[in-house]
Structure 1
């Protein structure tokens, strides 16, 4: 699937999901508004019936509109005469039961002597009186002389509970949206893995082709009879074959080691090592390649460490090879050691093209290669620094990177000194 096709699928999917969500939100709101309207109408009818029952009991004329809604959840009802709390509570309960208004409500009766609404009680959804903590405030009105107020504190949650169908459909929509997001994530991940695999195979083919071609040319030269009469030339081509063979070996070992690390099967054999001796052995081939471009600044006095010799040498070679690859035509690489805070600090620094800040956090990722712009001679699998990080981690060491674009890069490995 091409990149443009994936983008089109994502855009269409996002538009479709957004449309579904918008339509769903619209109908949920419409359904809630309808339930709210039905609830208000039912409450108004119930409270009007209560007012008419009181009027009839006291032989008063009925009032056409005795109920006034002051807010979304608060109503006041024209009473016209003083009334006991117990009588009002009984009438409210009976009327609300009859009209299936099964939600908490609070009521109070206006007292003209104190000019306040005296709180009556809090009635729960089962029409039982519940104790309340703190003062309950029921707003007054100047619309009536004698009246009572009824408030529904849980009105919104009560109405929401009536939207079972819409809640279920919204959950289904949410599941579809999550599934779509996960499907897009999988597609993009598979696309990226496919690109990484393609790049890795291309890089591996090129990396293996170069030393194989060099070895073939060198062996063709060595197959000539006259080469035996030119010992210096013979030695040069033998060294070339040896160097390229080691290069192939290191590349194969890097791929195999990375595969073992990924499966958690890499085993290390830590022994006491002399770091300066190990550095000299690990950089022999580099001296042949760049000569004076490599300098050693070995200041550490405590140089014995516990490490796997082979893997530590591979770490050093990887970092030095990286420094050379990203240093242009005239590489300058410095390897230094020092002791600080019970650690031996191994530093490999170059004066190459450096790494931009946005890439530093990614350089240890498997297969990741820093974009090099117009520098096209940089080859590799994108495994070297990932291998370095894993070997450092397995040894319980620490690695830090300092880099500045255009000024070079410095890798520092902090290795504890055995006591």
Structure 2
């Protein structure tokens, strides 16, 4: 890794770390904000639950005294209402410890200080209020919810007293039921307990008395007596806050992954471009070296004809011309290969397909290469005929490239096999050498790529043979792959029609 690439890598690493840090900070702030909002919602739900509870309890503790006697003086009305027997009877029937009933209670009280015909009625839900114009002189007592429901109706009476009593006890089950309803409505799941404090001393713990609660809130209700309060202790799950942050977390995660992916992709592209640049430079150096040899040879031949053949010897001229032709032919072949490679991935390259027999076709290629090497080349085949529809010219170049590579880089024995397997044609070019490092397996099919050997140029090549072969096989709807198993095998798979 050179200095420029290292700097780019460090910059991308810094950007990734900075992005992760910012995302963590923003999500933490969002977490704190949701936590505060959760505490606020719990506070509101608890205050509302207590308000509902005390309102319902106040309805049960409400007693109204109304008189339909228009001639009854206020003083006499008050004396009659607060006469011990009457008031105590009303309180007794309204006490939460007394079993509630829907039956009509009728009691009559006689007192020398009031009119004899004044009567006391305890009104239930089925008994209507006697109107102001009623001829019956009476005091009507409405208790509990009935008093609350008919509070508007008693305004017609000139003499009326409404008493609201409070109880020393708190019905924890009732408060718990109302609070659960409020929390469910707000979609909040909590573990909680009530702590009833009187004069800063714990009077009673309701629900989970053995569990420790980290968070406590005090109600803002004004219904409690002085020096008395019902504190709510609770624990919440972090999963609850994460659910509330669900959309923000998902979007943040997608953004973070996308940004990191783009940065790594950019680094990958830069590294690949750098690699391609190195490969192209190596190709240019190699092809320049290859071009330089025939050019130098031709120049030498022409110089020989001009300076070393003063007698214009025909035989010498023919020799120099023959050398020049061979070198020019070599140059032409190299240029054609480069041009063919440039047109491989374009529509300009068209295949002239025809049906031909692969067996004699492969055999002729093997025999041709036998004459140019001392290595053993063998065609292993049990088929006499195997027809294929393709371009013989380009396929000959492909097989020649693979065999030529095996001769250049492989071992002393080269075996070409051709088989028909599962309705596909499988052709293997195997040599006993193992000269391709595992780290280079994915790169050898790239354009202009050659396995790096420093400044050594012991084997001539341009780095386009395998790329050329793979591309042409794919244009025939086939595949070319490398198989290494103590040997080097290039396997071609073609469709059999």
TM-score normalized by the length of structure 1: 0.64
- CA displacement at 1:24 relative to structure 2: 3.4
2:224 is the alignment partner of 1:141: no
Structure 2 partner of 1:263: 346
Structure 2 partner of 1:54: 53
Post-superposition Cα deviations, 1:309-330, rounded to whole Å, max 9, x if no partner, equal: 2212211221233223325xxx
Post-superposition Cα deviations, 1:344-365, rounded to whole Å, max 9, x if no partner, equal: 6544344445223333333222
- CA displacement at 1:26 relative to structure 2: 3.0
Counterpart-to-counterpart distance in 2, 1:403 and 1:227: 57
The 8 Å contact of residues 215 and 244 in structure 1, kept in 2 or not, is answered as yes
Structure 2 partner of 1:4: 3
Q: Which of 479, 486, 490 is the equivalent residue of 1:411?
A: 490
Counterpart-to-counterpart distance in 2, 1:257 and 1:150: 78
Structure 1 partner of 2:384: 301
Counterpart-to-counterpart distance in 2, 1:207 and 1:171: 52
Distance 1:209 1:332, change over 3 A: farther
Q: By percentage of residues, which structure has more helix? A: 1
Post-superposition Cα deviations, 1:67-93, rounded to whole Å, max 9, x if no partner, equal: xxxxxxxxxxx74465796xx37x965
Q: Secondary structure at the match of 1:366?
A: coil
Counterpart-to-counterpart distance in 1, 2:418 and 2:41: 85
Distance 1:140 1:262, change over 3 A: farther
Q: Which of 429, 437, 444 is the equivalent residue of 1:356?
A: 437
Structure 2 partner of 1:43: 42
Counterpart-to-counterpart distance in 1, 2:459 and 2:38: 73
Q: After alignment, is 348-357 or 13-22 more displaced?
A: 348-357
Q: Secondary structure at the match of 2:351?
A: coil
Q: Which has the larger radius of gyration?
A: 2
Counterpart-to-counterpart distance in 2, 1:286 and 1:280: 10
Counterpart-to-counterpart distance in 2, 1:212 and 1:284: 31
The 8 Å contact of residues 227 and 234 in structure 1, kept in 2 or not, is answered as no
Structure 1 partner of 2:245: 160
Distance 1:415 1:228, change over 3 A: farther
Post-superposition Cα deviations, 1:85-143, rounded to whole Å, max 9, x if no partner, equal: 6xx37x965xx8xxxx9832579999xxxxxxxxxxxxxxxxxxxxxxxxxxxx95247
Distance 1:178 1:79, change over 3 A: farther
Post-superposition Cα deviations, 1:202-225, rounded to whole Å, max 9, x if no partner, equal: 222223223333444456567765
Post-superposition Cα deviations, 1:279-307, rounded to whole Å, max 9, x if no partner, equal: 576568755643x3353436442155433
2:443 is the alignment partner of 1:370: no
List alignment gaps of at least 5 residues for structure 2.
Answer: 59-165, 194-205, 212-229
Counterpart-to-counterpart distance in 2, 1:13 and 1:412: 40
2:289 is the alignment partner of 1:209: no
2:267 is the alignment partner of 1:184: yes
- Aligned pairs for 1:297-336 within 5 A: 297=379, 299=381, 300-302=383-385, 304-327=387-410, 332=412, 334=414, 336=416
Q: Which of 318, 328, 331 is the equivalent residue of 1:248?
A: 331
Structure 2 partner of 1:17: 16
Structure 1 partner of 2:468: 387
TM-score normalized by the length of structure 2: 0.55
Post-superposition Cα deviations, 1:367-406, rounded to whole Å, max 9, x if no partner, equal: 332244796423433211011112122223444434467x
Distance 1:4 1:410, change over 3 A: same
Distance 1:234 1:306, change over 3 A: farther
Post-superposition Cα deviations, 1:31-80, rounded to whole Å, max 9, x if no partner, equal: 41243134224413541453255346342459xxxxxxxxxxxxxxx744
List alignment gaps of at least 5 residues for structure 1.
Answer: 63-77, 111-138
Structure 2 partner of 1:132: none
Structure 1 partner of 2:112: none
- CA displacement at 1:171 relative to structure 2: 7.3
Distance 1:141 1:369, change over 3 A: same
CA RMSD across the alignment:
4.8
Distance 1:186 1:359, change over 3 A: closer
The 8 Å contact of residues 401 and 409 in structure 1, kept in 2 or not, is answered as yes
- CA displacement at 1:16 relative to structure 2: 3.9
Counterpart-to-counterpart distance in 2, 1:339 and 1:169: 55
- CA displacement at 1:269 relative to structure 2: 0.6
- CA displacement at 1:242 relative to structure 2: 5.7
Post-superposition Cα deviations, 1:172-202, rounded to whole Å, max 9, x if no partner, equal: 7666555544443443343333333322322
Distance 1:394 1:10, change over 3 A: same
